[in-house]
Protein backbone atom coordinates (compact mmCIF):
# COMPACT_ATOMS: atom_id res chain seq x y z
CA UNK A 1 0.00 0.00 0.00
CA UNK A 2 2.60 2.45 1.14
CA UNK A 3 5.07 1.63 -1.60
CA UNK A 4 2.32 2.06 -4.13
CA UNK A 5 1.59 5.50 -2.75
CA UNK A 6 5.27 6.35 -2.77
CA UNK A 7 5.53 5.20 -6.33
CA UNK A 8 2.62 7.40 -7.26
CA UNK A 9 4.21 10.36 -5.58
CA UNK A 10 7.59 9.91 -7.22
CA UNK A 11 6.11 9.33 -10.66
CA UNK A 12 4.13 12.53 -10.14
CA UNK A 13 7.35 14.26 -9.26
CA UNK A 14 9.08 13.04 -12.41
CA UNK A 15 6.13 14.25 -14.46
CA UNK A 16 6.21 17.61 -12.69
CA UNK A 17 9.94 17.87 -13.27
CA UNK A 18 9.48 17.14 -16.96
CA UNK A 19 6.73 19.71 -17.29
CA UNK A 20 8.62 22.34 -15.36
CA UNK A 21 11.80 21.86 -17.37
CA UNK A 22 10.24 20.93 -20.67
CA UNK A 23 12.17 23.40 -22.78
CA UNK A 24 15.55 22.38 -21.39
CA UNK A 25 14.66 18.75 -22.05
CA UNK A 26 13.67 19.62 -25.62
CA UNK A 27 17.03 21.30 -26.13
CA UNK A 28 18.95 18.38 -24.67
CA UNK A 29 17.06 15.79 -26.69
CA UNK A 30 17.63 17.79 -29.86
CA UNK A 31 21.35 17.80 -29.20
CA UNK A 32 21.35 14.09 -28.37
CA UNK A 33 19.39 13.31 -31.54
CA UNK A 34 21.82 15.25 -33.71
CA UNK A 35 24.86 13.82 -31.94
CA UNK A 36 23.64 10.27 -32.49
CA UNK A 37 23.28 10.92 -36.19
CA UNK A 38 26.62 12.69 -36.41
CA UNK A 39 28.90 12.36 -33.32
CA UNK A 40 31.30 15.00 -34.64
CA UNK A 41 28.55 17.54 -33.90
CA UNK A 42 29.75 17.67 -30.31
CA UNK A 43 32.76 19.91 -30.82
CA UNK A 44 33.87 23.24 -29.42
CA UNK A 45 33.89 24.68 -32.90
CA UNK A 46 30.21 23.88 -33.42
CA UNK A 47 29.37 25.16 -29.97
CA UNK A 48 31.06 28.44 -30.79
CA UNK A 49 29.27 28.69 -34.12
CA UNK A 50 25.91 28.08 -32.46
CA UNK A 51 26.64 30.70 -29.81
CA UNK A 52 27.71 33.18 -32.48
CA UNK A 53 24.54 32.56 -34.43
CA UNK A 54 22.49 32.97 -31.27
CA UNK A 55 24.11 36.16 -30.04
CA UNK A 56 22.22 38.80 -32.01
CA UNK A 57 19.03 36.76 -31.95
CA UNK A 58 19.23 36.65 -28.17
CA UNK A 59 19.65 40.42 -27.91
CA UNK A 60 16.60 40.96 -30.11
CA UNK A 61 14.58 38.30 -28.29
CA UNK A 62 15.39 39.85 -24.92
CA UNK A 63 14.03 43.12 -26.23
CA UNK A 64 10.76 41.53 -27.32
CA UNK A 65 10.54 39.48 -24.12
CA UNK A 66 10.02 42.48 -21.86
CA UNK A 67 7.22 43.72 -24.08
CA UNK A 68 5.60 40.28 -24.21
CA UNK A 69 5.73 40.09 -20.41
CA UNK A 70 3.73 43.33 -20.16
CA UNK A 71 1.09 41.55 -22.20
CA UNK A 72 2.06 43.41 -25.37
CA UNK A 73 3.86 42.42 -28.51
CA UNK A 74 6.24 44.11 -30.92
CA UNK A 75 6.01 43.40 -34.63
CA UNK A 76 8.33 46.29 -35.44
CA UNK A 77 11.37 44.43 -34.08
CA UNK A 78 12.50 43.00 -37.42
CA UNK A 79 12.17 46.25 -39.35
CA UNK A 80 13.95 48.10 -36.55
CA UNK A 81 16.80 45.64 -36.88
CA UNK A 82 16.92 46.54 -40.57
CA UNK A 83 16.85 50.26 -39.81
CA UNK A 84 19.75 49.94 -37.39
CA UNK A 85 21.71 47.75 -39.78
CA UNK A 86 21.33 50.20 -42.67
CA UNK A 87 22.08 53.22 -40.50
CA UNK A 88 25.19 51.84 -38.87
CA UNK A 89 26.59 50.28 -42.06
CA UNK A 90 26.10 53.47 -44.05
CA UNK A 91 28.08 55.42 -41.48
CA UNK A 92 30.85 52.84 -41.17
CA UNK A 93 31.86 52.15 -44.76
CA UNK A 94 35.55 51.85 -45.35
CA UNK A 95 37.31 54.94 -46.74
CA UNK A 96 38.58 53.08 -49.82
CA UNK A 97 35.22 51.53 -50.75
CA UNK A 98 34.28 53.11 -54.10
CA UNK A 99 30.52 53.47 -53.82
CA UNK A 100 30.07 54.90 -50.37
CA UNK A 101 26.77 56.39 -49.34
CA UNK A 102 28.55 59.41 -47.85
CA UNK A 103 31.59 60.07 -49.99
CA UNK A 104 33.00 62.79 -47.80
CA UNK A 105 32.28 61.19 -44.46
CA UNK A 106 35.42 60.90 -42.38
CA UNK A 107 36.16 57.69 -40.56
CA UNK A 108 34.00 57.82 -37.44
CA UNK A 109 34.83 56.20 -34.13
CA UNK A 110 32.81 53.00 -33.87
CA UNK A 111 30.75 54.13 -30.93
CA UNK A 112 29.06 57.10 -32.66
CA UNK A 113 27.22 55.23 -35.44
CA UNK A 114 26.34 52.46 -33.00
CA UNK A 115 24.80 54.98 -30.63
CA UNK A 116 22.99 56.73 -33.49
CA UNK A 117 21.45 53.43 -34.60
CA UNK A 118 20.40 52.55 -31.05
CA UNK A 119 18.97 56.03 -30.43
CA UNK A 120 16.97 56.14 -33.65
CA UNK A 121 15.53 52.72 -32.89
CA UNK A 122 14.87 53.86 -29.34
CA UNK A 123 12.74 56.64 -30.78
CA UNK A 124 10.66 54.07 -32.63
CA UNK A 125 10.19 52.39 -29.27
CA UNK A 126 9.19 55.69 -27.71
CA UNK A 127 6.54 56.12 -30.39
CA UNK A 128 5.32 52.54 -29.90
CA UNK A 129 5.19 53.05 -26.14
CA UNK A 130 3.20 56.27 -26.38
CA UNK A 131 0.78 54.83 -28.92
CA UNK A 132 0.19 51.77 -26.77
CA UNK A 133 0.04 53.39 -23.34
CA UNK A 134 -1.43 56.81 -24.05
CA UNK A 135 -3.56 56.26 -27.11
CA UNK A 136 -4.50 52.77 -25.89
CA UNK A 137 -4.02 51.24 -29.32
CA UNK A 138 -3.63 47.45 -28.94
CA UNK A 139 0.11 46.61 -29.17
CA UNK A 140 -0.41 44.28 -32.11
CA UNK A 141 -1.93 47.09 -34.18
CA UNK A 142 0.40 49.82 -32.90
CA UNK A 143 3.53 47.88 -33.77
CA UNK A 144 2.05 46.57 -37.01
CA UNK A 145 1.78 50.22 -38.00
CA UNK A 146 5.29 51.06 -36.94
CA UNK A 147 6.63 47.92 -38.61
CA UNK A 148 5.25 49.10 -41.93
CA UNK A 149 6.29 52.71 -41.40
CA UNK A 150 9.82 51.85 -40.26
CA UNK A 151 10.35 49.83 -43.43
CA UNK A 152 9.34 52.93 -45.37
CA UNK A 153 11.78 55.09 -43.43
CA UNK A 154 14.59 52.60 -43.92
CA UNK A 155 13.87 52.38 -47.64
CA UNK A 156 13.82 56.15 -48.12
CA UNK A 157 17.15 56.40 -46.34
CA UNK A 158 18.52 53.46 -48.31
CA UNK A 159 17.31 54.33 -51.82
CA UNK A 160 18.99 57.70 -52.40
CA UNK A 161 21.41 59.37 -54.79
CA UNK A 162 24.18 59.11 -55.74
CA UNK A 163 23.97 55.33 -56.08
CA UNK A 164 20.30 54.57 -55.30
CA UNK A 165 19.17 51.27 -53.89
CA UNK A 166 22.16 49.04 -53.61
CA UNK A 167 23.45 46.89 -50.78
CA UNK A 168 25.60 48.77 -48.32
CA UNK A 169 28.92 46.95 -48.20
CA UNK A 170 32.58 47.64 -47.69
CA UNK A 171 32.34 48.03 -43.95
CA UNK A 172 35.42 49.38 -42.30
CA UNK A 173 37.66 47.01 -40.46
CA UNK A 174 36.84 48.12 -36.93
CA UNK A 175 33.12 47.57 -37.55
CA UNK A 176 33.68 44.16 -39.14
CA UNK A 177 35.88 43.24 -36.22
CA UNK A 178 33.00 43.99 -33.86
CA UNK A 179 30.92 41.38 -35.62
CA UNK A 180 33.53 38.76 -36.41
CA UNK A 181 36.38 39.37 -33.98
CA UNK A 182 37.07 37.44 -30.83
CA UNK A 183 39.24 37.42 -27.78
CA UNK A 184 41.57 34.64 -26.80
CA UNK A 185 43.91 32.61 -29.01
CA UNK A 186 42.84 32.09 -32.58
CA UNK A 187 41.53 28.57 -32.30
CA UNK A 188 39.31 26.41 -30.22
CA UNK A 189 39.15 28.55 -27.10
CA UNK A 190 38.40 31.91 -28.66
CA UNK A 191 35.27 33.82 -27.67
CA UNK A 192 33.59 36.08 -30.25
CA UNK A 193 32.89 39.64 -29.12
CA UNK A 194 29.24 39.40 -30.02
CA UNK A 195 28.80 36.37 -27.77
CA UNK A 196 30.32 38.35 -24.92
CA UNK A 197 28.08 41.32 -25.69
CA UNK A 198 25.00 39.08 -25.79
CA UNK A 199 26.00 37.48 -22.50
CA UNK A 200 26.45 40.90 -20.97
CA UNK A 201 23.03 42.01 -22.23
CA UNK A 202 21.46 38.83 -20.86
CA UNK A 203 22.94 39.50 -17.42
CA UNK A 204 21.91 43.15 -17.62
CA UNK A 205 18.34 42.25 -18.56
CA UNK A 206 18.23 39.65 -15.81
CA UNK A 207 19.11 42.38 -13.35
CA UNK A 208 16.52 44.72 -14.86
CA UNK A 209 13.73 42.13 -14.74
CA UNK A 210 14.54 40.77 -11.30
CA UNK A 211 16.25 43.46 -9.34
CA UNK A 212 14.69 46.74 -10.34
CA UNK A 213 11.35 48.36 -9.71
CA UNK A 214 10.89 48.63 -13.47
CA UNK A 215 11.18 44.86 -13.84
CA UNK A 216 8.74 44.16 -11.02
CA UNK A 217 6.29 46.64 -12.53
CA UNK A 218 6.61 44.92 -15.92
CA UNK A 219 5.50 41.60 -14.42
CA UNK A 220 2.75 43.34 -12.46
CA UNK A 221 1.34 45.10 -15.53
CA UNK A 222 1.43 41.88 -17.51
CA UNK A 223 -0.18 39.96 -14.67
CA UNK A 224 -3.00 42.41 -14.01
CA UNK A 225 -2.73 45.91 -15.38
CA UNK A 226 -5.83 47.16 -13.54
CA UNK A 227 -4.44 45.99 -10.22
CA UNK A 228 -1.13 47.62 -11.13
CA UNK A 229 -2.87 50.92 -11.72
CA UNK A 230 -4.59 50.69 -8.32
CA UNK A 231 -1.34 49.74 -6.61
CA UNK A 232 0.46 52.91 -7.59
CA UNK A 233 2.41 51.50 -10.53
CA UNK A 234 3.03 54.17 -13.17
CA UNK A 235 1.68 52.07 -16.01
CA UNK A 236 2.25 54.63 -18.78
CA UNK A 237 5.83 55.33 -17.82
CA UNK A 238 6.66 51.66 -17.38
CA UNK A 239 5.20 50.69 -20.74
CA UNK A 240 7.00 53.48 -22.58
CA UNK A 241 10.28 52.50 -20.92
CA UNK A 242 9.86 48.85 -21.84
CA UNK A 243 9.14 49.66 -25.48
CA UNK A 244 12.17 51.97 -25.59
CA UNK A 245 14.44 49.33 -24.06
CA UNK A 246 13.11 46.75 -26.50
CA UNK A 247 13.73 48.93 -29.53
CA UNK A 248 17.16 49.96 -28.29
CA UNK A 249 18.05 46.28 -28.10
CA UNK A 250 16.83 45.74 -31.67
CA UNK A 251 19.06 48.67 -32.59
CA UNK A 252 22.04 47.02 -30.94
CA UNK A 253 21.13 43.63 -32.40
CA UNK A 254 20.74 45.07 -35.89
CA UNK A 255 24.04 46.87 -35.68
CA UNK A 256 25.87 43.73 -34.58
CA UNK A 257 24.12 41.63 -37.18
CA UNK A 258 25.23 44.04 -39.92
CA UNK A 259 28.78 43.92 -38.60
CA UNK A 260 28.68 40.13 -38.52
CA UNK A 261 27.28 39.68 -42.02
CA UNK A 262 29.26 42.52 -43.58
CA UNK A 263 26.51 44.83 -44.83
CA UNK A 264 22.82 45.57 -45.08
CA UNK A 265 19.91 46.33 -47.38
CA UNK A 266 16.55 47.88 -46.65
CA UNK A 267 15.07 44.39 -46.45
CA UNK A 268 17.41 43.37 -43.70
CA UNK A 269 15.83 41.94 -40.55
CA UNK A 270 12.57 41.06 -42.27
CA UNK A 271 10.79 38.43 -40.20
CA UNK A 272 13.18 38.63 -37.26
CA UNK A 273 10.30 39.74 -35.03
CA UNK A 274 8.56 36.41 -35.51
CA UNK A 275 11.77 34.47 -34.84
CA UNK A 276 12.25 36.50 -31.66
CA UNK A 277 8.67 36.02 -30.49
CA UNK A 278 8.90 32.30 -31.30
CA UNK A 279 12.10 31.97 -29.27
CA UNK A 280 10.44 33.78 -26.36
CA UNK A 281 7.32 31.64 -26.28
CA UNK A 282 9.30 28.44 -26.68
CA UNK A 283 11.34 29.73 -23.77
CA UNK A 284 8.25 30.00 -21.61
CA UNK A 285 7.32 33.66 -22.01
CA UNK A 286 3.55 33.94 -21.95
CA UNK A 287 2.04 36.01 -24.74
CA UNK A 288 -0.81 36.83 -22.41
CA UNK A 289 1.69 38.53 -20.15
CA UNK A 290 3.04 38.30 -16.64
CA UNK A 291 5.28 35.29 -17.15
CA UNK A 292 8.78 34.85 -18.55
CA UNK A 293 12.42 34.60 -17.55
CA UNK A 294 15.71 35.60 -19.13
CA UNK A 295 16.96 32.02 -18.72
CA UNK A 296 13.96 30.75 -20.63
CA UNK A 297 14.57 33.17 -23.48
CA UNK A 298 18.23 32.06 -23.67
CA UNK A 299 17.14 28.44 -23.98
CA UNK A 300 14.46 29.37 -26.51
CA UNK A 301 16.99 31.13 -28.72
CA UNK A 302 19.45 28.24 -28.39
CA UNK A 303 16.80 25.74 -29.44
CA UNK A 304 16.26 27.56 -32.72
CA UNK A 305 19.98 27.94 -33.36
CA UNK A 306 20.54 24.24 -32.66
CA UNK A 307 17.73 23.41 -35.09
CA UNK A 308 19.12 25.72 -37.78
CA UNK A 309 22.72 24.76 -37.38
CA UNK A 310 22.45 21.18 -36.18
CA UNK A 311 19.89 20.00 -38.67
CA UNK A 312 21.87 21.54 -41.50
CA UNK A 313 24.91 19.81 -40.04
CA UNK A 314 23.23 16.42 -40.42
CA UNK A 315 21.88 17.39 -43.83
CA UNK A 316 18.22 17.68 -43.02
CA UNK A 317 16.34 19.26 -45.90
CA UNK A 318 15.75 22.96 -45.06
CA UNK A 319 12.05 22.61 -45.83
CA UNK A 320 11.86 19.89 -43.25
CA UNK A 321 13.65 22.17 -40.82
CA UNK A 322 10.80 24.65 -41.17
CA UNK A 323 8.27 21.94 -40.39
CA UNK A 324 10.24 20.85 -37.34
CA UNK A 325 10.52 24.44 -36.12
CA UNK A 326 6.80 24.94 -36.49
CA UNK A 327 6.05 21.78 -34.56
CA UNK A 328 8.45 22.72 -31.80
CA UNK A 329 6.87 26.14 -31.32
CA UNK A 330 3.45 24.60 -30.82
CA UNK A 331 4.64 21.60 -28.80
CA UNK A 332 6.80 23.67 -26.45
CA UNK A 333 3.94 25.98 -25.61
CA UNK A 334 1.48 23.11 -25.29
CA UNK A 335 3.75 21.49 -22.70
CA UNK A 336 4.66 24.74 -20.99
CA UNK A 337 1.06 25.78 -20.50
CA UNK A 338 0.50 22.58 -18.48
CA UNK A 339 2.34 24.29 -15.65
CA UNK A 340 -0.54 26.66 -15.19
CA UNK A 341 -3.56 24.53 -15.98
CA UNK A 342 -5.48 23.26 -13.00
CA UNK A 343 -4.53 19.75 -12.02
CA UNK A 344 -7.10 17.13 -11.44
Distance CA 310, CA 30 (A): 9
Backbone angles phi, psi at 264, to 5 degrees: -160, 155
Query: Which of 49, 174, 234, 261 touches other proteins by CB under 8 A?
Result: 234
> Does residue 325 belong to the site contacting other proteins (CB under 8 A)?
no
CB of residue 213 to other proteins, shortest distance in Å = 4
Distance CA 148, CA 125 (A): 14
> Does residue 228 belong to the site contacting other proteins (CB under 8 A)?
yes
Residue with Cβ nearer other proteins (69 or 114): 69
Select from 60, 48, 88 the least CA-distant residue to 183.
48
> Does residue 28 belong to the site contacting other proteins (CB under 8 A)?
no
> Does residue 124 belong to the site contacting other proteins (CB under 8 A)?
no
Total of residues contacting other proteins (CB under 8 A): 26
Q: Which stretch binds other proteins (CB under 8 A): 27-35, 195-203, 208-216, 271-279?
A: 208-216
Backbone angles phi, psi at 261, to 5 degrees: -95, -5
Query: Which of 11, 231, 312, 317 touches other proteins by CB under 8 A?
Result: 231
> Does residue 295 belong to the site contacting other proteins (CB under 8 A)?
no
> Does residue 220 belong to the site contacting other proteins (CB under 8 A)?
yes
Select from 244, 336, 242 the least CA-distant residue to 281.
336
Query: Which of 18, 188, 207, 323 touches other proteins by CB under 8 A?
Result: 207
Query: Which of 158, 175, 219, 268 touches other proteins by CB under 8 A?
Result: 219
Q: Which stretch binds other proteins (CB under 8 A): 95-103, 115-123, 166-174, 214-222?
A: 214-222
Distance CA 70, CA 140 (A): 13
> Does residue 344 belong to the site contacting other proteins (CB under 8 A)?
yes
Residue with Cβ nearer other proteins (204 or 334): 204
Query: DSSP secondary structure string, 213-272?
Result: HHHHHHHHHHH-HHHHHHTT--HHHHHHHHHHHHHHHHHHHHHHHHHHHT-B-TTTTTTH
Please tell me whether residue 168 adopts helix, strand or coil conformation. Answer: strand
> Does residue 10 belong to the site contacting other proteins (CB under 8 A)?
no
Q: Which stretch binds other proteins (CB under 8 A): 93-101, 147-155, 220-228, 298-306?
A: 220-228
Query: Which of 20, 180, 190, 224 touches other proteins by CB under 8 A?
Result: 224
Query: Which of 14, 232, 318, 319 touches other proteins by CB under 8 A?
Result: 232
Distance CA 136, CA 155 (A): 28
What is the chain's length? 344
> Does residue 213 belong to the site contacting other proteins (CB under 8 A)?
yes
Please tell me whether residue 94 adopts helix, strand or coil conformation. Answer: coil
Select from 116, 147, 152 the least CA-distant residue to 131.
147
Distance CA 339, CA 309 (A): 30
> Does residue 9 belong to the site contacting other proteins (CB under 8 A)?
yes
CA 222, chain centre distance (Å): 19
> Does residue 229 belong to the site contacting other proteins (CB under 8 A)?
yes
Q: Which residues bind other proteins (CB under 8 A)?
A: 9, 12, 207, 210-213, 216-217, 219-220, 223-224, 226-234, 290-291, 340, 344
Amino acid sequence: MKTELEQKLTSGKIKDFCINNAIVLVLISLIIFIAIREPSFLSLRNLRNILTMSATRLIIALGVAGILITGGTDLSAGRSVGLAAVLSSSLLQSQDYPRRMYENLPSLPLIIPVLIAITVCGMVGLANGIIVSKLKVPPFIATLGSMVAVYGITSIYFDRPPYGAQPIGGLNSSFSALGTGFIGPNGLFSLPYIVLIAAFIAVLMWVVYNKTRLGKNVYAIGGNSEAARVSGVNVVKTLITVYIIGSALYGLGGTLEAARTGGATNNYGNGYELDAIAACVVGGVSVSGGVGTVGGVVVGVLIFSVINYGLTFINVNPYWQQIIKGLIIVAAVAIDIRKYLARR
